[in-house]
Amino acid sequence: MGRAWHYHFRVSASKHNDVPLNRFGVALSDADTVAGRIEAEAFLSALIRGAPWAAEEAWNRYAPMVFHLLRRGMGPSADLDDCVQEVFLRAFRRFKNLRDATALRSFVYSIAVRVMRWQLRRRRIRRWVGLSDTGELPELGQAPLDVEAREALRRTYALLEKLGTLDRTIFVLRHSEELSLPEIANAVDVSLSTVKRHLGRTSSRVARLVRADPLLSTYLSIGRLDADSEGRDA
């Protein structure tokens, strides 16, 4: 029997107004209303039934989110598009196991995190056995940055390549996606204490590597890295 998926949104107040937000910063007003819930359930039902319009709508709603996560987490990668496809194929296979229709977004997000971890692990293994993925990053493509920033970004990804899969995933979710620690624990499916332990250790290591790099040490602020390595708020 398939696993039942339950996701709960954290309701928090926006910095700028009192609109409740879910963990991805999306206003919860729709999901909180009866109409919103009915719509969510009808949408999930249509997805499970295989309605073509629902599939396209799901793609339009969630593909940008998935792409962003994978792009930030994995860096410029030739197989990024394949990974996005993989996320959606997995999601469509598992929609029938989702119990809470309003958690559709976080459900897709969690699958994207799993695919990202799987891809990072695969990349490391291939590097170990010498098949390819030497650790050299491909060009950054269309990144809208000046020369110095592009070099800093290239070195940052090279630095992230040195991290283990779980460490890197937690680090990206914390620093790039700005998830809270419980949200990271939920997305990665590990305990909160494991997240804290890995994040402290990884942040400390990244801070050390940044300080050792002449360009990164002058370009990047490491205050937040130090805070995370010490287990306090930045």
Q: Which residues bind another protein (CB under 8 A)?
A: 35, 38-39, 42-43, 45-46, 49-56, 59-60, 63-64, 67-68, 71-72, 81, 84-85, 88-89, 92, 140-145, 149-150, 152-153, 156, 172, 174-176, 178, 206, 210, 218-225
Q: Least distance to another protein from the beta carbon of 28, Å?
A: 17
Comparing CB distances to another protein, the nearer of 5 and 92 is 92
Identify the DSSP state of 27. B
Q: Least distance to another protein from the beta carbon of 71, Å?
A: 4
The 3-state DSSP class for residue 91 equals helix
Name the nearest CA neighbour of 188 among 174, 162, 170. Answer: 170
Q: Least distance to another protein from the beta carbon of 59, Å?
A: 5
Comparing CB distances to another protein, the nearer of 113 and 220 is 220
Looking at residue 55, its amino acid is A
Burial readout 3-31 (b: 16 or more C-beta within 10 A, e: otherwise): eebebebbeeeeeeeeebbbbeebebeeb
Q: Least distance to another protein from the beta carbon of 186, Å?
A: 19
Comparing CB distances to another protein, the nearer of 19 and 145 is 145
What does the chain come to in residues?
A: 234
Give the whole-angstrom CA distance, residue 142 versus residue 150: 10
Comparing CB distances to another protein, the nearer of 47 and 103 is 47
Comparing CB distances to another protein, the nearer of 120 and 220 is 220
Q: Least distance to another protein from the beta carbon of 143, Å?
A: 5
What are the CA-CA distances from residue 231 to residues 181, 196, 198, 226 (Å)?
11, 7, 11, 8
Comparing CB distances to another protein, the nearer of 33 and 129 is 33
- Residue 164, number of CB atoms within 10 A of its CB: 15
Burial readout 224-233 (b: 16 or more C-beta within 10 A, e: otherwise): ebeebbeeee
Comparing CB distances to another protein, the nearer of 191 and 218 is 218
Do residues 11 and 22 touch, judged by C-beta distance below 8 A?
Answer: yes
Q: Least distance to another protein from the beta carbon of 12, Å?
A: 19
Q: Least distance to another protein from the beta carbon of 72, Å?
A: 5
